[in-house]
Copies of this chain bind each other. A is one copy, B any other.
Amino acid sequence: MALAWAIWALNQLGLYFVAASRLMFAIAPAQGKPLLSKAQASLLVGKARWIHAVAERGLPVAPTIVITRAAWEELQQERSNGGDTLRRVWVATLFKLVKPGTTPPELVVRTSANKHIAGLQSARVGLAAPGKEMDAVDPQRPMGKAIQAAFASYGPENAGWAGDAEIERRRNELVIVQAMADGTIEQFLSRNLVTGGFGPVPMQGAKLPRLPDIEPLIETLDAVSGQHMAVLVAIKPNEAQFLSARPVEVSAGAQLEAAVDRVERKIWTPAQAVKHFDSTQLPQLLHPRLATRSDAEPVGVGLGVSPGAASGEIVFTAEDAARCRARGRHCILVVMETGPGDIEGMKAATGFVTARGGMTSHAAVVARITGKPCVAALRSLQIDPVNGVCKIGDRKFAAGERITIDGNEGLIYEGALALSRPHIGGALSRLLDWADDSRTIAVRTNAETIEAARTALSFGAEGIGLARSEHMFFSAERMIALRRLILSENEHDRATALEGLVDYQAADYAALFATMQNKPVNVRLFDPPLHEFLPRSDEDIEDTAASLGLSVKALKARLQRLSEVNPMLGHRGCRLVITYPEILAMQIRALVAGVETAMDNQDLPVNLEIMVPFVTSAREVSWVKSRVNEYIGNAEIFQRGANVAFGTMIELPRACLRAGDIAKEVDFFSFGTNDLTQTTYGISRDDAPAFLASYHRKALYDVDPFVTIDQRGVGELIALAIERGRAVNPHLKVGICGEHAGDPTSLRFFAGLDIDYVSCSPYRVPVARMVLAQS
Binding site for B on A (CB under 8 A): 531, 564-571, 575-576, 578-579, 614, 616-617, 619-620, 623, 651-654, 657-658, 675, 678-684, 686-687, 690-691, 694-695, 698-701, 710, 712-714, 716-717
Closest 5 CB pairs between A and B? A566-B684, A569-B684, A570-B687, A565-B686, A654-B713
Contact partner of A681 (CB less than 8 A), chosen from B616, B700, B717, is B616
Residues from chain B with a CB closer than 8 A to the CB of A658 are 712-713
Residues from chain B with a CB closer than 8 A to the CB of A565 are 531, 567-568, 684, 686-687
Nearest Cβ on chain B to A522's Cβ, whole angstroms: 21
Residues from chain B with a CB closer than 8 A to the CB of A579 are 690-691, 694
CA distance A565 to B569 in the complex (A): 11
Contact partner of A690 (CB less than 8 A), chosen from B571, B619, B652, B654, is B571
Q: Show 20 A/B contacts (Cβ-Cβ < 8 Å), sorted by A.
A: A566-B566, A566-B568, A566-B684, A567-B687, A568-B682, A569-B687, A570-B690, A575-B691, A575-B695, A578-B694, A578-B698, A579-B691, A616-B681, A616-B683, A619-B700, A653-B680, A654-B680, A654-B710, A657-B712, A657-B716
Residues from chain B with a CB closer than 8 A to the CB of A680 are 652-654, 657, 679
Known contacts A616-B682, A690-B571, A695-B578; is-contact A653 B717 (Cβ 8 Å): yes
CA distance A576 to B701 in the complex (A): 16
Docked-complex contact A678 and B713, CB < 8 angstroms: no
Docked-complex contact B682 and A675, CB < 8 angstroms: yes
Docked-complex contact A617 and B654, CB < 8 angstroms: no
Nearest Cβ on chain B to A496's Cβ, whole angstroms: 21
Nearest Cβ on chain B to A564's Cβ, whole angstroms: 4
Closest B residue by C-beta to A568? B566
Residues from chain B with a CB closer than 8 A to the CB of A651 are 682
Residues from chain B with a CB closer than 8 A to the CB of A681 are 616, 652, 654
As for how many copies of this chain the complex holds, the number is 2
Nearest Cβ on chain B to A173's Cβ, whole angstroms: 32
Among A576, A653, A678, A713, chain B packs the most CB atoms within 10 A around the CB of A653
Residues from chain B with a CB closer than 8 A to the CB of A717 are 653, 657
Residues from chain B with a CB closer than 8 A to the CB of A657 are 680, 712-713, 716-717
Closest B residue by C-beta to A699? B619
Docked-complex contact A564 and B684, CB < 8 angstroms: yes
Nearest Cβ on chain B to A449's Cβ, whole angstroms: 25
CA distance A519 to B566 in the complex (A): 37
Contact partner of A687 (CB less than 8 A), chosen from B564, B623, B678, is B564
Closest B residue by C-beta to A654? B713
Closest B residue by C-beta to A618? B700
Known contacts A565-B687, A568-B569, A570-B687; is-contact A679 B653 (Cβ 8 Å): yes
Nearest Cβ on chain B to A536's Cβ, whole angstroms: 11
Residues from chain B with a CB closer than 8 A to the CB of A619 are 699-701
CA distance A138 to B698 in the complex (A): 88
Nearest Cβ on chain B to A407's Cβ, whole angstroms: 31
Nearest Cβ on chain B to A643's Cβ, whole angstroms: 28
CA distance A575 to B700 in the complex (A): 11
Residues from chain B with a CB closer than 8 A to the CB of A654 are 680-682, 710, 713-714
Residues from chain B with a CB closer than 8 A to the CB of A617 are 700-701
Residues from chain B with a CB closer than 8 A to the CB of A686 are 564-566
CA distance A699 to B618 in the complex (A): 12
Docked-complex contact B578 and A682, CB < 8 angstroms: no
CA distance A482 to B150 in the complex (A): 61
CA distance A649 to B597 in the complex (A): 55
Contacts A565-B686, A623-B698, A653-B680 known; list 12 others, CB within 8 Å.
A531-B565, A565-B684, A566-B686, A568-B682, A568-B684, A569-B687, A571-B690, A616-B682, A619-B699, A652-B682, A657-B717, A679-B679
Residues from chain B with a CB closer than 8 A to the CB of A699 are 619
Residues from chain B with a CB closer than 8 A to the CB of A713 are 616, 653-654, 657-658
Nearest Cβ on chain B to A230's Cβ, whole angstroms: 42
CA distance A710 to B531 in the complex (A): 29
Nearest Cβ on chain B to A680's Cβ, whole angstroms: 5
Residues from chain B with a CB closer than 8 A to the CB of A567 are 565-566, 687
Residues from chain B with a CB closer than 8 A to the CB of A712 are 657-658
Docked-complex contact B653 and A687, CB < 8 angstroms: no
Residues from chain B with a CB closer than 8 A to the CB of A701 are 617, 619
CA distance A698 to B657 in the complex (A): 22
Residues from chain B with a CB closer than 8 A to the CB of A690 are 564, 570-571, 579
Among A579, A620, A700, A710, chain B packs the most CB atoms within 10 A around the CB of A700
CA distance A684 to B698 in the complex (A): 30
CA distance A15 to B684 in the complex (A): 66
Nearest Cβ on chain B to A29's Cβ, whole angstroms: 52
CA distance A60 to B705 in the complex (A): 77
Among A569, A684, A698, chain B packs the most CB atoms within 10 A around the CB of A569
Closest B residue by C-beta to A690? B571
CA distance A154 to B717 in the complex (A): 48
CA distance A570 to B684 in the complex (A): 6
Contact partner of A700 (CB less than 8 A), chosen from B571, B578, B614, B679, is B578
Residues from chain B with a CB closer than 8 A to the CB of A695 are 575, 578
Nearest Cβ on chain B to A614's Cβ, whole angstroms: 6
Contact partner of A620 (CB less than 8 A), chosen from B531, B700, B714, B716, is B700
CA distance A684 to B573 in the complex (A): 13
CA distance A695 to B579 in the complex (A): 8
